[in-house]
Chain A
Amino acid sequence: MSRPTLTAISLHRPAQTSGVDAATISRAKLGDIDAFTAIVEAYYARCLRFGRGVLRNPDDAEDVVQETFIRLYRALPRYEERQRFEPWLFHILGNCCRTANKSGHRRDVIHTRDDRAMARTAAPDVSPARDEAEWADAVRRALAEVPVYNREIFLLHYIEGFSYEEIERMTGVRRSALKMRVKRASDLLRALLSGRNDD
C-alpha cells in the first residue's frame, strides 16, 4: 500500500482561515476601532502560534505579535482590496519575526537534559493527557532545532495552510526553493522525533 504524501494530507485539511469578512476589513481601513478589534481577535491566536514557532525566543512572541498589529493598523489605509488579507498579515508578521530574531538582545533558549535531576523528580504521570503534553513539548523542542529559514516556510505551509504560490508572493522566494525548505524541515523533524520514539 502506498504511503500518503504531505500534499495529500494538506488537501484533506483546508487552510485554517480565521476569517474576517471584506466589510470588516474595509471598516478597519477607515479607522473603525471595533472592526480592527475584530481582526485582532480573529488572528491573534494564529499569529501567536506562528511567532512562538519562528522566534528564537518564544517568550518574545506576544511583543512581536503586538508590533505586527500596530504596523498593520498603521498601514491599513494603504491596503488594497485586491490583495489577500491573510498573506499580507503574515508577510508583516514574518518581517517582524525576522527583525526580532536579528535583534542583538535575543536570548536564545537552550534545552538541556540533566539525568540526575530527572531521577530526583516524582514518577511521571502516564495519563493520555500527560502523554500528549509531553509529545507537544517534544515537537516544539524538535522544531526549535530546525533552521529558522526552513522552519518559517514549514509553518506557513503546513500549520497556517498557505499554498506555495501564496508563500512565494509573501516572501519573494521561488517555489522550488520553498519546497526544498519544507522538505528539509520535514526530514529533520522526522529524524529528531524518531529518536524520541525509540526511547
Chain B
Amino acid sequence: MTDSALDPLLERAIDALRALPSLDQARVSRIVSAAAAARLNAAEDDASVAAPLRSTMPWPWIIGVAAAAALIGFVARGALVSRHRVESRVAPVVLSPQAISIARAANGRGDAESMPIPKQFVLDNAHAARVALVGDFNEWNPTAAPLTRDVVSGLWTIVVSIPPGRHMYAFVVDDSVFTLDPRAPKVKDPALGAEGSVVIVGKP
C-alpha cells in the first residue's frame, strides 16, 4: 500500500505539528533529579522498556538460527568453561539515602532560578574503604553524603542536587583524611582556613 497523496493542506498541517516546544531548563533539572533518585530501585523489572517480543524474522530462519546456536554452544562448551566469565552488565551508580532525599526534595516545583541541579562527584581512590562528600551545601557534614564504589570502574561516586552558584567541597577518606578533588580547581576558603575544591553549579 502506498501513502496517501499529499495536498498542500496536509503538508501545512504536518509543518504545524513539527513545531517544537521550548526547552524548560528547570523541568530538565527536575527530571534528572527524579531519575537519579529512582535509579536506586534498578532491581525493579520494567516491562515497558523491553523491545516488543514479536520478531520480523521469518519462522524458518528463527528455527535454523536456534538450531545452529545450540550446536555451536554444545561444541564450544568444553573449550570455554575454564575462561574467566566476563561481566557484561554494568552496575548502576547507587545513590546514598541522603543524596536521594536531596534529589527528591528537588523534584518538587520551585523557583526555576534557584532549582537544585544534579551534580556528580567522582573520586578515584583504590585504597579507600569509605569516602564522604563534604561541602558548604551539606554543612561540611561527613555523614551526609557517603560515596558509593562502582563495582566495574572502581571509582567512588555520588550524585547530589545543589542550588546553583559557587560551592566549596572536599572528600573525607576513611573518616579522617580531608582530600581535595584532583579534577577541580582549589581555593583557600577564609572561613574554613584551608583549601577546598570549587564547583560552579548552573550558569556562572
Q: Mark A residues whose CB is within 8 Å of B.
A: 3-9, 16, 29-34, 36-37, 40-41, 44-46, 48-49, 52-53, 62, 65-66, 69-78, 83, 88, 91-92, 95-96, 99, 132, 135-136, 139-140, 142-143, 155, 158-159, 168-172, 176, 179-180, 182-183, 186-187, 189-190, 193-194, 197
Contact = CB atoms under 8 A, between A and B. Distances in A.
B144 interface: no
Contact of B14 (A37, A48, A65, A158): A158
Given A44-B27, A49-B19, A69-B31, 4 more contacts: A30-B93, A37-B118, A49-B21, A159-B18
B9 A74 contact: no
Contacts of A158: 14, 17
A36 B159 CA distance: 12
Interface of B: 1-7, 9-14, 16-24, 27-28, 30-32, 34-36, 38-39, 41-42, 44, 46, 48-49, 51-54, 56, 89-93, 118-120, 150, 152-153, 157, 159
Contacts of A96: 48
Contact of B3 (A53, A182, A194): A182
Contacts of B4: 5-6, 182-183, 186-187, 190
Q: Tell me which of B6, B30, B38, B54 has the highest count of chain A C-beta atoms within 10 A of its own C-beta.
A: B6
B178 to A, nearest CB: 25
Contacts of B19: 49, 136
Nearest to B14: A158
A192 B102 CA distance: 49
A168 B52 CA distance: 9
A75 B49 contact: yes
Contact of A193 (B13, B27, B56, B150): B13
B18 to A, nearest CB: 6
A73 B16 contact: no
B28 A183 contact: no
Contacts of B52: 91, 169-172
A190 B7 contact: yes
A33 B153 contact: no
A65 B49 CA distance: 14
A136 B23 contact: no
B89 A33 contact: no
A183 to B, nearest CB: 5
Given A30-B90, A36-B35, A74 B46 contact: yes
B38 to A, nearest CB: 5
Contacts of B118: 33, 37
Q: Tell me which of A8, A40, A52 has the highest count of chain B C-beta atoms within 10 A of its own C-beta.
A: A40
Contacts of B7: 3, 190
A101 to B, nearest CB: 14
